Amino acid sequence: QVQLVESGGGLVQPGGSLRLSCKMSGFTLEHYVLAWFRQAPGKEREGVSCLDSSETATYYADSVKGRFTISRDIAKNTVYLQMNSLKPEDTAVYYCAATGDLVVAGTDPLMYQYDYWGQGTQVTVSS
């Protein structure tokens, strides 16, 4: 049974950092493209970042480029999103996702491309 479980969200002040984790089970992540999405209140879910199985093709949305870093640990079957210099506009529910469609590696993640989803973790940036 495929399962993705996010953790690491919380309340942080502007300029602070958080690291989100997504523990995956039921499949081996090295054969998948892994992504993070987020959904702010009243807004559509948007792609934030994605990473291919060999860590050679990555994508970052312009809004997070230079501040967020996606990575993965195959041994732990976990993907991470390190978020630095957080801003109030980063406030959202963050979701991890995975797809076996390797063609999407390095491109703007779109919801319909991803087969497996976590339940989401809340990130709130506020003073």
Residue 105 — pLDDT band, cuts 50, 70, 90? confident
pLDDT tens-digit readout, 21-71? 999 999 888 889 999 999 999 999 999 999 987 888 899 999 999 999 999
**Long-range interactions of 12-17: CB distance < 8 A, separation 24+:** 12/86, 12/123, 12/124, 12/125, 13/125, 13/126, 13/127, 14/86, 14/87, 14/88, 14/125, 14/126, 14/127, 15/85, 15/86, 16/86, 16/125, 17/82, 17/83, 17/84, 17/85, 17/86
Residue 103 — pLDDT band, cuts 50, 70, 90? confident
Average pLDDT of the residues in 102-107:
87
